[in-house]
Structure 1
Amino acid sequence: MTTTPQNVERREPAQVMRLSRLGSFHQCRLSFMRQLTRRMAAEKWVFSRPVFDIDTNGVGHAVYSAQGPDRTYSLVAFAHDLPPEQRSDRVIAEAWDATFALFDGVPSKDDIQRLSRNVPLQEAGRVSESELSLSRANRSVRLWAHVVDRLAAGQQPDLAQIHKVGYLMRTTAVYGSGKFGAADREKIADRPEVSGPFQAEMLSVYLTRIFVRDLVQHMAKAKGGEQTAQLDPNIARWLGIGNSTGLGMAPFIVNHPILFNNWIMAREEAIARVRSVETATDAEKAMFREIFERSKLSITWWQSEHPIQIEKLVALSADLNTIAAYLDQTDLTKNQPWDQLILWSQTALSEEGQELLASLILEPYGELVDGLSSCMADGNSAAFAIDGAMPVNQVRELIRTNFGWALDLDWYAAEHCARAWYVSEEKLEPRLGERFDEPIADYEQPLAPARDAARAFDALDNWSGEAPVAEFLLRHPEHRHTVRRTQMSHVAPYGEIRDNTIGAEVMPIDMLRAKLSFFGATHFDPRSDRWVRICMYAGAPYPEELGPDNADLWVYPELAQ
Structure 2
Amino acid sequence: MKQFTNEVARREPAFVMRLKRLGSLHQCRLSFMRILTRRMACDGWTFSRSAFEIDARGVGHAVYAAKGPNRTYSLVAFAHDLPSEMRSDRVIAEAWDATFTLFDGVPTADDIERLSRNIPLQEAGRISEQELSLSRANRSVRLWGHVIDQLAKGQQPDLEKINSVGYLMRTTAVYGSGKFGAADRDKIATRDEMQAPFQAEMLSVYLTRTFVRDLVQHLANLRGGDAAVTLDPAIARQLGIGNSTGLGMAPFIINHPVLFNNWIMAREEAISRVRALKYASSSERQLFWNLLARSKLSVEAWRSKHPRQIEKLRQLKVDMTALAEWYQGDAPDQEYPWDRLVRWSGNTLSEEGQELVGSLILEPYGHLVDGLESCMADGNSEAFTIDGVMTTGDVRSLIRESFGWALDMNWNDPENCARAWYVSEEKLEPRMGERFEEPIADYEQPLAPARDAALAFRALEIFEPHQPIAEFLASHPEHRHTIRRAQMSQYAPYGEIRDNTISATVLPIDMLRAKLSFFGATHFDPRSDRWLRICMFSGAPYPEDLTEKNADFWVFPEVKN
TM bin (shorter chain) = over 0.9
Matches of 1:15 and 1:476 in 2, distance apart? Answer: 32
Matches of 1:438 and 1:84 in 2, distance apart? Answer: 33
**3-state SS of 2:244 partner:** strand
Q: Identify unmatched segments of 5+ residues in structure 1.
A: none
Matches of 2:5 and 2:392 in 1, distance apart? Answer: 41
Matches of 1:402 and 1:438 in 2, distance apart? Answer: 31
Aligned position for 1:535: 535
Supply the AA of the counterpart residue of 1:214.
D
Aligned position for 2:560: 560
Aligned position for 1:281: 281
1:116 aligns with 2:116: yes
Equivalences for 1:146-225 in 2 at 5 Å? Answer: 146-225=146-225
Supply the AA of the counterpart residue of 1:186.
D
Supply the AA of the counterpart residue of 2:241.
I
Query: Could you list the per-position Cα deviations for residues 226-254 of structure 1 after superposition, in whole angstroms to 9, with x for gaps in the alignment?
Result: 11111111110011000000000000000
Aligned position for 1:18: 18
Aligned position for 1:507: 507
Aligned position for 2:544: 544
Aligned position for 2:373: 373
Matches of 2:449 and 2:142 in 1, distance apart? Answer: 43
Matches of 2:531 and 2:264 in 1, distance apart? Answer: 22
Supply the AA of the counterpart residue of 1:81.
D
Query: Could you list the per-position Cα deviations for residues 188-245 of structure 1 after superposition, in whole angstroms to 9, with x for gaps in the alignment?
Result: 1111111210000000000000000000001111111111111111110011000000
Supply the AA of the counterpart residue of 1:251.
P
Flag the 1:4–1:195 CA change in 2: closer, same or farther, 3 A. Answer: closer
Equivalences for 1:32-47 in 2 at 5 Å? Answer: 32-47=32-47
TM-score with structure 1 length normalisation? 0.99
> What is the deviation of 1:333?
2.9
Matches of 1:180 and 1:126 in 2, distance apart? Answer: 7
Task: Give the conservation status (yes or no) of the 8 Å contact 2:4–2:278.
Answer: no
Aligned position for 1:313: 313
Supply the AA of the counterpart residue of 2:339.
D
Equivalences for 1:376-455 in 2 at 5 Å? Answer: 376-455=376-455
Matches of 2:512 and 2:152 in 1, distance apart? Answer: 38
> What is the deviation of 1:5?
4.1
Matches of 1:543 and 1:518 in 2, distance apart? Answer: 22
Matches of 2:154 and 2:78 in 1, distance apart? Answer: 27
**3-state SS of 2:36 partner:** helix
> What is the deviation of 1:165?
0.9
Query: Could you list the per-position Cα deviations for residues 58-103 of structure 1 after superposition, in whole angstroms to 9, with x for gaps in the alignment?
Result: 0000000000000100000000010000000000000000000100
Aligned position for 1:135: 135
Matches of 2:136 and 2:189 in 1, distance apart? Answer: 24
Aligned position for 1:105: 105
Aligned position for 1:236: 236
**3-state SS of 2:328 partner:** helix
Task: Give the conservation status (yes or no) of the 8 Å contact 2:331–2:340.
Answer: no
Aligned position for 2:343: 343
Task: Give the conservation status (yes or no) of the 8 Å contact 2:151–2:228.
Answer: yes
Supply the AA of the counterpart residue of 2:352.
E
Query: Could you list the per-position Cα deviations for residues 492-541 of structure 1 after superposition, in whole angstroms to 9, with x for gaps in the alignment?
Result: 00000000000001000000000000000000000000000000000000
> What is the deviation of 1:4?
8.5
1:76 aligns with 2:60: no
Query: Could you list the per-position Cα deviations for residues 247-302 of structure 1 after superposition, in whole angstroms to 9, with x for gaps in the alignment?
Result: 00000000000000000000000000000010000100000000000000011111
Matches of 1:465 and 1:263 in 2, distance apart? Answer: 34
Matches of 1:427 and 1:477 in 2, distance apart? Answer: 29
Matches of 1:46 and 1:231 in 2, distance apart? Answer: 23
Matches of 2:184 and 2:250 in 1, distance apart? Answer: 21
> What is the deviation of 1:150?
1.0
1:466 aligns with 2:462: no
Matches of 2:404 and 2:4 in 1, distance apart? Answer: 36
Aligned position for 1:356: 356
1:483 aligns with 2:521: no
Task: Give the conservation status (yes or no) of the 8 Å contact 2:172–2:245.
Answer: yes
> What is the deviation of 1:148?
0.7
Task: Give the conservation status (yes or no) of the 8 Å contact 2:4–2:276.
Answer: no
Query: Could you list the per-position Cα deviations for residues 11-38 of structure 1 after superposition, in whole angstroms to 9, with x for gaps in the alignment?
Result: 0000000000000000000000000000
> What is the deviation of 1:6?
4.2
Matches of 1:142 and 1:441 in 2, distance apart? Answer: 41
Matches of 1:469 and 1:427 in 2, distance apart? Answer: 37
**3-state SS of 1:74 partner:** strand
> What is the deviation of 1:480?
0.4
**3-state SS of 1:332 partner:** helix
Query: Could you list the per-position Cα deviations for residues 147-204 of structure 1 after superposition, in whole angstroms to 9, with x for gaps in the alignment?
Result: 1111111111122321211100000000001111111111111111112100000000
Matches of 2:160 and 2:552 in 1, distance apart? Answer: 24
Matches of 1:330 and 1:54 in 2, distance apart? Answer: 59
1:87 aligns with 2:53: no
Supply the AA of the counterpart residue of 1:331.
A
Supply the AA of the counterpart residue of 2:341.
L
Matches of 1:259 and 1:67 in 2, distance apart? Answer: 28
**3-state SS of 1:137 partner:** strand
> What is the deviation of 1:330?
3.2
**3-state SS of 1:396 partner:** helix
Matches of 2:326 and 2:161 in 1, distance apart? Answer: 33
> What is the deviation of 1:331?
3.0
Matches of 1:132 and 1:210 in 2, distance apart? Answer: 19
**3-state SS of 1:169 partner:** strand
**3-state SS of 1:329 partner:** coil
For the aligned residue pairs, the C-alpha RMSD in angstroms reads 0.9
Matches of 1:158 and 1:298 in 2, distance apart? Answer: 19
Identity of aligned residues (%): 71
**3-state SS of 1:416 partner:** coil
Aligned position for 2:294: 294
Aligned position for 1:53: 53
Aligned position for 2:327: 327
> What is the deviation of 1:334?
2.3
Flag the 1:175–1:4 CA change in 2: closer, same or farther, 3 A. Answer: closer
Supply the AA of the counterpart residue of 2:515.
K
Aligned position for 1:255: 255
Q: When the two structures are aligned, how many residues end up with a matched partner?
A: 559
Query: Could you list the per-position Cα deviations for residues 316-340 of structure 1 after superposition, in whole angstroms to 9, with x for gaps in the alignment?
Result: 1111111111112233132100000
**3-state SS of 2:452 partner:** helix
Matches of 2:41 and 2:25 in 1, distance apart? Answer: 26
Matches of 1:395 and 1:49 in 2, distance apart? Answer: 56
**3-state SS of 1:364 partner:** coil
Matches of 1:141 and 1:407 in 2, distance apart? Answer: 49
Matches of 1:334 and 1:116 in 2, distance apart? Answer: 62
Matches of 2:330 and 2:542 in 1, distance apart? Answer: 38
The farther-off stretch of 137-146 and 413-422 is 137-146
> What is the deviation of 1:7?
3.5
Supply the AA of the counterpart residue of 2:507.
M
Supply the AA of the counterpart residue of 1:477.
P
Matches of 1:480 and 1:370 in 2, distance apart? Answer: 37
Supply the AA of the counterpart residue of 2:180.
F
Question: Which ranges of 4 or more aligned residues in structure 1 deviate by more than 2 Å?
Answer: 3-7
Query: Could you list the per-position Cα deviations for residues 325-378 of structure 1 after superposition, in whole angstroms to 9, with x for gaps in the alignment?
Result: 111223313210000000000110100010011000000111111100000000
Matches of 2:6 and 2:177 in 1, distance apart? Answer: 43
The farther-off stretch of 488-497 and 321-330 is 321-330
